[in-house]
Structures are given as C-alpha cells and as structure tokens.
Amino acid sequence: MASARKTSSGEMVLKGIGVSPGIAVAPVFLLAADDRLVPERRLTDREALAEIMRLENAIIETRRQLTDIHRHVEEQAGRQHADIFDMHKLVLDDPAFIAEVFDGILKRHANAEHAIRLAAEGYTDTLSRVEDDYLRERVSDVKDVARRLIRNLSDSTHTPLTGLSVRSVIVGVDLAPSETATLQREWVLGFATDQGSPTSHTAIMARALGIPAVVGLSNISQLVKVGEEILVDGSSGEVVLRPSTERRRMAGLYAEEQRTIQTELGTLRDQPAETADGHAIVLSANVELVSELPAVLQSGAQGIGLFRSEYLYISRETLPSEEEQLAAYGEAAKAMAPQPVIIRTVDLGGDKFASSVRVPHEVNPFLGFRAIRFCLAQPALFKTQVRAILRASALGRVSMMYPMISNVGEVRQANAIVDACKEELRGEGLDFDEKMPVGAMVEIPSAALTAEIIAPHVKFFSLGTNDLVQYTLAVDRVNERVAHLYEPTHPAVLRLIRCTIEAGHAHGVWVGVCGEMAGNPVLTPLLVGMGLDELSTVPANVPAVKDAIRRVRLSDAQALAENAAKLGTAAEILDLCRELTKRTAPEILRLAGKPGAERGSATPGK
C-alpha cells in the first residue's frame, strides 16, 4: 500500500512499487484520466447491421496499429518485448470477446463504442478477481485494446502524449502498454502512476526501454501540478515531489553509481555461479513465453528452471494439439541445448481455464480443482501434453515437473500416465529420452512435510515459494489488508524449505527454488546456506543473484542459515541476511536502496 510523508525541507515523499530501476528528475506532465464519456445510443435493426461494418473497420485499423507497434518495439527493445503485443492481438482476436461485442450491437442494440465498453468491463471485472498475477495483469491489456478500438471508431489519431516536446516525468492514473511502448524516449525521463504492478505489461515495457518507473502510488495524479519538479526512483519505489537541491544532487550521484553497478554486473554473464570458495549452484531462468528465450541466453542463466506452459492454453477456443506443443517445447529445448529446460505441466484451474474447458463454479477455486488435480481428472488433456514434452526431450535436455503436489498418490498416478505415454511412443516409433527426469513442485505444506515419502518417486524437487508462503501463512499477498504478513523469511516457511532439502538429499534428489525468493539476492546466501542446489528466477534478476553467490563463502552462508534457524521472527532473519549482504556484496543493497544508502566500494563478483 502506498504511503506518504513530508520532510523538513518541504518535500513530499511517496512510497510505491518500483518496477523499472533508475532515477529521473524532471517537470511533471500530467496525463489526464481516460474518462471521456463513451457515446451511448440505441440502434434500430437496420442501424445495428451498419454498426457491425463500422466495428469491423475499427478492428482492422486496430490490428494494423498493433502490428506497427510490434515492429517499433522490436526495433527499439527486441523481439521478446515486442511479442507483448501479440497478447493484445489475442484480445482483439478472442472469439468470445468479439462475440460479446457483436451481441451488444445485435441483441442489445447498443452502438459499437458502448458495446465494446460493456464487453471490456465484463472481462476486466472477471480478471481483477483472479489470484494469478499474470492473468490479473492482463486487465490493462484488455483496457488498452478497448480504448484503441473506441478511439478508432471516432477516427481519432490523437493520444494524450501526442506532441510532447519537453523532457518530463509522466504522471497519471495508469499508462497503457501501447502508450508506454511508443513513448518518445528523448522527452520521457520516467513515469509514476496511481495504479499498476511489477507484472503488468506496462512495467515490462518500462524495463525494456530503460525508463525509470514507480507504480501503485494510489493518488499521485491528484497531488501533483503540471510543471512542478518531481523525482522518480524506480529502484527504491520512492517518488519525491518538489525535491530539494541536496536531494537532486544526491540523486545524480546515485544514478551514476547505479549505472556503474549494472554495467559491472553485466560482466558476470559468462562467469560461473559458484561461491567464493568454489561451491557451485545451478542458476536458471523462469519464462512464460518462447519469445523470452533470447533474454535467458543474454542473462547468463544455465538453462530454464521453470517453463510455464499455460500460455499455450488460455485465450483460445480449442486445446493446443500435441504437435503445437511439441513445436514450442522443442524450440526451447534446442535454443537452450546443452543447458536444461524444465517444463511445468499445465497449471490450469482456479481462474485459469482454456475457453473450451467447462468446469463447475467453485467458491474457493485456489484450494480446489486446479493444477495436477485438474490434469489427473482430465487424462486425455494431460496425456497430450506429456507426449509432447517426452518428444521434446529428444531435442535437448528436457525435464518435466508436476505443480501443486499435495501427496505421494498424485505423483504415483501422474507417473503411471507418463509410463503409459512412453509405451505409446515406443509403439509408434517416436523418439524420446527414456531417462527424462520428472520432478514435483513443493508449493503446499503437506508436500514439504511428506517430502521423504514423495522423494523416491521423483528426480528433483522445485520449491514454488510464492504459493508455499501463502498457503503456510494463510496470506493473500495481493490483499493490501494482509500483504504485510506475507513474509518469505518466516520461520515456518524456512522450516518447510529445510525439511524438503533434507528429505530430497537423503534420497539423492536435488532441490531448487523457482519462486520469488530465488530472485531476491539478499536471500541468496540464506538459501545457499540451507543447501539448495538450484535457483531459478526471471532473466533480469540473474546477474544480481549470481553476484550474491560469487561474493559469499559457503561457510558464511551455512553459518547464516544456522543462526537464522535460532531466530523467532521474519524481520530478525531478514535483518541477518541484510547484514551479511552488506559485508559481502554491498552493491546489492545499493541497487535496491535509496540515494546515499549503504554506500561502499565493492566491485560485483570479485
């Protein structure tokens, strides 16, 4: 939740969510809220038919614009970021969405603009209630496409940022992904918004374009005035209104230091992820889409520790075929070879369902029919994916893991299906790796507590700490009223992690982490000291995590873990982690800190 405080020099300091690192100081350009009244008319039957033609022309123009944006972003930031706008095209081409708009025109006799607004509101209301971060953040994509369609219906090419000619910080309620992608970088130094989160496409585009950004500030758009000076610190998540002369001076020094640290971290790309005394850790990357593979290679990650397969299933009317899945998994396997790729079987359920899958409503879907439970109840769907993953294993070092395992029975049942698929492929003469490793994700306390029972049936464990923390502490991390209780260093969470590691190692099973804890370099020594074999995080976090590994001695990391086990609160454990990081890799704290904080002269990776 955003906070605000005033300083003695008359500044107002706001705390939000830093989503793109860097410092920007410039006058405010206030982006007016897109609250223009959408025209609403009731049509006759004859007018409704004509309105359909008008809508189709707007769809054609919108698709053309999205293609142009895709090309522009690919030139500026690379294909992996340009492919964000493939998601916008999926919204535009979603048969269910377009059918809803058509129904609004033909059945409700609403004009096209009003029909689009109604359809978009229905979609965004549903997505806003989804627990899954990735799907919830698609709200901004739907709104963006709807705004663009409505704008094209009015034949308007004007956007709120058209003609910007002063170097500025953009402030507004929110910034659409397509607006971010087409910002004039020479004039836009940063942005700050009331709404938003780190997983939104707007945040992703800001990082890709190197624009410092802070979101989730609640009401900054109501606090600022056009032209007044503002400081945006995308690393710490702070925004300062009317910054003092000293603040601006320190910000300039800090910005230069940040650039130096990031440059030095980039030199670690080809260095091994091993501690200062030679203990090796496997450092992998998490990906959502095949288009992210170049970012993995650029980061210096040792393969893919989590390949999420849900994107192949959602926003479509038909289930993906075996050949379609093989193409995606095979592309990842070949691109990463000889490094490994771990594919998570589809985590459908909760609010993540393919349009063609019909399931009854559940009061609490996140404790219900989802992930491995859903797959075991849909053996045909599951077998299609398992066959595709097995066939991809002939093209590279592919492994497979099951999500949301709660007991050994689920693992046995899933393994039986894998064995049946192998037998089918042998009979058909299709190649696959007979020894393809199969693992289980530990996301539920019951799995951690019975890890010694599950371990004989798998080759590895991967701790999904996001869900493990939530399920252990009964905390919804996106609920602002209890989000402060979401504590990855809570002693209960750490005991479950240690329990899993000990059980795995006792059975010759390696153990990794693919949740957010793996991407926090301050926690890296703690995880290394607890005995984890692998860390997997988003590509952007790989350099800092590698630096944290290389700067610490295994003996010091183990001492940290032992001391942490004696403490009673999450805050005490986190302080202990920060103390060690301050001694071994102070640049890590400076990357996440504020101007002037935790300063030192350490060089990354040495």
What does residue 63 show for φ and ψ, rounded to 5 degrees?
A: -65, -40
Task: State the Cα–Cα distance between residues 218 and 239, nearest whole angstrom.
Answer: 12
Of 289-293, 303-307, 416-420, 477-481, minimum mean pLDDT range:
477-481
**How far are the Cα atoms of 21, 54, 198, 222 from residue 214, in angstroms, in the given order?**
9, 38, 9, 16
Which tokens hold the place of 510? 């390696």
Give the type of residue at 445. P
70/117 same-domain check = yes
- Tokens 């919804």 found at: 476
165/30 same-domain check = yes
87/122 same-domain check = yes
Q: Which residue did the predictor score with more confidence, 199 or 489? A: 489
**How far are the Cα atoms of 234, 254, 546, 582 from residue 600, in angstroms, in the given order?**
21, 12, 19, 9
Give the type of residue at 491. P
CA atoms within 13 A on the CB side of 430: 17
For residue 92, the Cα-to-chain-centroid distance in whole angstroms is: 22
142/58 same-domain check = yes
DSSP code, position 162: T
Query: Nearest CA to 66 among 81, 79, 85, 84?
Result: 85
On whether residue 237 sits in a domain, the answer given is yes
pLDDT band for position 313 (50/70/90)?
Answer: confident
On whether residue 235 sits in a domain, the answer given is yes
On whether residue 251 sits in a domain, the answer given is no
pLDDT band for position 147 (50/70/90)?
Answer: confident
What average pLDDT does range 2-26 have in this prediction? 81
User: Residue 104 maps to which CATH number?
Assistant: 1.10.274.10
138/171 same-domain check = no
Q: Which residue did the predictor score with more confidence, 322 or 132? A: 322
Q: What pLDDT does 473 receive?
A: 94
Q: What is the mean pLDDT of the chain?
A: 85
19/92 same-domain check = no
What is the tens place of the pLDDT at every residue in 527-549? 999 999 999 998 888 999 999 99
Identify any residues that bridge with 308 across adjacent strands, giving them in sequence order: 344
Q: What pLDDT does 31 receive?
A: 81
Cα torsion 62, 64, 66, 72: sign: negative
104/130 same-domain check = yes
Exposure string over 220-243, b if 16+ CB within 10 A, otherwise e: bbebbeeeeebbbbbbbbbbbbbb
What is the tens place of the pLDDT at every residue in 384-409? 999 999 999 999 999 999 999 999 99
On whether residue 437 sits in a domain, the answer given is no
What percent of the residues of the chain are helix, what percent strand, and what percent coil, each to the nearest 5? Answer: 50, 15, 35
Pairing of strands 460-463, 238-241: unpaired
- Residue 597 pLDDT more than 50? no
pLDDT band for position 128 (50/70/90)?
Answer: low
User: Residue 204 maps to which CATH number?
Assistant: 3.50.30.10
Q: What pLDDT does 595 receive?
A: 46
- Give ∠ CA 296-297-302 in degrees, rounded to 5: 80
**Residue that is last in its domain, among 115, 135, 153:** 153
Q: What pLDDT does 207 receive?
A: 77
On whether residue 570 sits in a domain, the answer given is no
**Residue that is last in its domain, among 245, 262, 291:** 245
Q: Which residue did the predictor score with more confidence, 129 or 236? A: 236
Cα torsion 29, 35, 37, 38: sign: positive
What average pLDDT does range 364-377 have in this prediction? 77
Pairing of strands 168-172, 188-193: parallel
pLDDT band for position 363 (50/70/90)?
Answer: very low
Exposure string over 286-325, b if 16+ CB within 10 A, otherwise e: bbebbbbbebbeebbbbbbbbbbbbbbbbbbeebbeeeeb
Per the structure, the complete domain to which residue 145 belongs is given by 45-153
19/167 same-domain check = yes
Pairing of strands 213-215, 17-20: antiparallel
Contact 228, 255 (CB under 8 A): no
Q: Number of folded domains in the chain?
A: 2
164/236 same-domain check = yes
Cα torsion 101, 193, 170, 141: sign: negative
Give the type of residue at 411. V
7/66 same-domain check = no
Pairing of strands 238-241, 229-233: antiparallel
Question: Which residues participate in catalysis according to the annotation?
Answer: 201, 514
What is the tens place of the pLDDT at every residue in 214-243? 998 988 988 998 889 999 998 788 999 999
Q: What pLDDT does 10 receive?
A: 76
On whether residue 387 sits in a domain, the answer given is no
49/149 same-domain check = yes
Give the type of residue at 586. P
**Residue that is last in its domain, among 245, 270, 300:** 245
What does residue 223 show for φ and ψ, rounded to 5 degrees?
A: -95, -25
- Residue 600 pLDDT more than 50? no
On whether residue 218 sits in a domain, the answer given is yes
What average pLDDT does range 28-47 have in this prediction? 76
186/203 same-domain check = yes
Of 28-37, 121-130, 281-290, 448-457, minimum mean pLDDT range:
28-37
Q: What pLDDT does 351 receive?
A: 43
On whether residue 233 sits in a domain, the answer given is yes
Q: What pLDDT does 581 receive?
A: 96
Identify any residues that bridge with 537 across adjacent strands, giving them in sequence order: 285
**How far are the Cα atoms of 204, 213, 234, 252, 403 from residue 245, in angstroms, in the given order?**
31, 22, 20, 11, 52
